[in-house]
Amino acid sequence: METMRGRTISPGRVEGESLVSKEPIGFYGGIDAKTGIFIEKGHELEGKSVKGKILVFPCGKGSTVGSYVIYGLAKNNQAPLAIVNKETETIVATGVILAGIPCVDRIPVEKISTGDRLVVDATAGTVSLTKKGQ
Amino acid sequence: MHLTNAEERILSGENGEVLERMFRLLVQLGDIYGADRMIPVRSAQVAGVSYKSIGDPGVEFLEDYAAKNAKVRIVTFLNPAGMDIEDWQKLNVPKGFAEKQLRIMSAFKKMGIVVSATCTPYLAGNLPRFREHIAWSESSAISFSNSVIGARTNREGGPSALAAALCGVTPNYGLHLDENRKAQIFVEVSAKLEDNADFGALGYVVGKQVKNRIPYFRGIKDADTDQLKALGAAMAASGAVALYHAEDLTPEAHLMETKGLEKLTVADKDIEETFSKLSTGKEPDIVILGCPHSSLREIMTIARKLEGKKLKKPLWVCTSRMVREAANRMGFTQTIEMAGGKVVADTCMVVSPIEDMGYKTTAVNSGKAANYLPGFCKQNVIFGRLDTLLEKVTA
């Protein structure tokens, strides 16, 4: 298990399985707040659900309404367990703070693959990684 | 972060629960991004207005704040709604949707927010000055105010812009500071840019590659504000570009050091490829123009091209109510209506429920709209230049 140290965006501690996007994510127009499913055509996670996963992506993109989509995902019980970024922008930070979703950034996300086990201690700003199959 | 005594008192709840909660959000953001203090902002632009975008959780959130008597402290304008607020009945908007949308508008109005319902506040009465600190959401308006005007805002999310509007301040970090406004990637444009859609295509292709960095453009020979609006909007949709510099066109470009920057080139073939890549449909059910909201000049151009023509398919020109008033006065609206089109105020194709109104393929001249319509509105898209689109739908 490898522990990586980053920056606290929104506190909390969870364990779970990762869902990784190498591309940036725009929550508005990217994910349906009612179902938690990726709807952006041609996105590498199109059709996948974020519910109960630790969502890992480099940075945000697109609409500033994304904060409300993150808040809506939580209210509709479709939210990811946590979010891990290379760089969290204000739009995602606002969303996770309002929604109470643990979030850490400044993590080398390229080390993480979909299906890896993660322990996200957002309060301490750490992410512990166990590669799939290990 | 340093907080004044008055700010500490807001955090202790002395000014009520809403202000405490909103100010706490700003302090948290300031702590994360290393702000030294709060700075006053002169205006705000609040996104997250359409019921389609924010849903029931958003309605509850806003009504709760309005009921607790939250009031904005600075000039605050609002993004487009999911429908024309006055003429929604004529546009087949589902009734349940309309009721929720009207509740959202009432909540914003009660908070003292100007229910401008436009993504182009700078064309409708909220114009910041060079170097003014503001707190705007709406990715395209952020790009325009930072880049074309030289005002200063971070990419605020809808709720963080609302927080700044209610508190009158924003944490001092990011694009509020000179050192964070420097160019980070050099973009050499050899492509010929003529139609506004060419600028949208350029924005889409550059945004995809630069992601959240600050591009410096060389080679854009000339551009009017409509074209710069189209460029910025597309870059903020396919990427997260909040600020760009364009040589001889934008106010901070001459301050930039471009030596040693990573370089990107955009040629004619990249623009053509973008048009064909984003075009997933063949025959349009409807043509929708005005993303971001049309300026009066854009409406005038469309009206002139439609003079004496008959449309075979519906055509909407989306704009703010303020600009539509001027278009009415000049007879542009009437010309477009005579051809069979509509000038729609307060809303646009992205935030209105067009997928529930029987449309499957939408033709647009906007790189931003072409980016959002397939996923969020379940539309096939035809992305093209204005003349090409009008040719498809006029007899």
Residue B141, CA distances (Å) to B2, B77, B184, B231 in order? 30, 11, 21, 11
ipTM of the complex, rounded to two decimals: 0.91
CA distance B350 to chain A (A): 9
Strands B262-266, B286-289: pairing kind = unpaired
Percent of chain B with pLDDT over 90: 94
E strand or H helix that includes residue A2 = strand A2-5
Closest by CA position to B340, among listed B316, B358, B361: B316
- Count of A–B CB contacts within 8 Å? 136
Domains of chain A: 2-130 (3.50.30.10)
Can you tell me the distance from the alpha carbon of B148 to that of B317, in angstroms, rounded to the nearest whole number?
Answer: 24
User: pLDDT, tens digit, for every residue of B56-89?
Assistant: 999 999 999 999 999 999 999 999 999 999 988 8
* Per-residue confidence (pLDDT) for residue B391, from 0 to 100: 96
Give the SS3 label for residue A25.
Answer: strand
User: pLDDT, tens digit, for every residue of B333-384?
Assistant: 999 999 999 999 999 988 888 888 889 999 999 999 999 999 889 999 999 9
Can you tell me the distance from the alpha carbon of B105 to that of B92, in angstroms, rounded to the nearest whole number?
Answer: 19
Please say whether the beta carbons of A122 and A9 come within 8 A.
yes
Closest by CA position to B175, among listed B238, B243, B261: B243
What parts of chain B have a pLDDT lower than 70?
none
Interface of A with B in 17-36 (CB under 8 A): 24, 26, 28-30, 33-34
Can you tell me the distance from the alpha carbon of B277 to that of B70, in angstroms, rounded to the nearest whole number?
Answer: 46
> Is A63 considered catalytic here?
yes
* Per-residue confidence (pLDDT) for residue B356, from 0 to 100: 87
* Per-residue confidence (pLDDT) for residue B395, from 0 to 100: 80
* Per-residue confidence (pLDDT) for residue A115, from 0 to 100: 98
SS3 content of chain B, % helix, strand, coil (to 5): 45, 15, 40
Q: Does A37 touch chain B (CB under 8 A)?
A: no
Give the SS3 label for residue B27.
Answer: helix
Q: Does B104 touch chain A (CB under 8 A)?
A: no
Query: Which of A28, A39, A75 is facing B57, going by the closest CB pair?
Result: A75
Structure tokens at A66: 């994304």
pTM (whole model) above 0.90: yes
CA distance B355 to chain A (A): 14
Domains of chain B: 5-178 (3.30.499.10), 182-275 (no CATH), 279-393 (3.30.499.10)
Best of B29, B53, B62 to mutate (most A CBs within 10 Å, chain A): B53
Nearest CA in chain B to A72: B57
Please say whether the beta carbons of A9 and A67 come within 8 A.
no
Q: For chain B, give me the number of helices (H) and strands (E)?
A: 14, 14
Q: What are phi and psi of A121, to 5 degrees?
A: -105, 85
Can you tell me the distance from the alpha carbon of B106 to that of B113, in angstroms, rounded to the nearest whole number?
Answer: 10
- Dihedral of CA B158/B162/B163/B169: which sign? positive
Can you tell me the distance from the alpha carbon of B134 to that of B151, in angstroms, rounded to the nearest whole number?
Answer: 7
Identify all chain B residues contacting A28, using CB atoms and an 8 Å cutoff: 53, 376
What parts of chain A have a pLDDT lower than 50?
none
Q: Does B138 touch chain A (CB under 8 A)?
A: yes
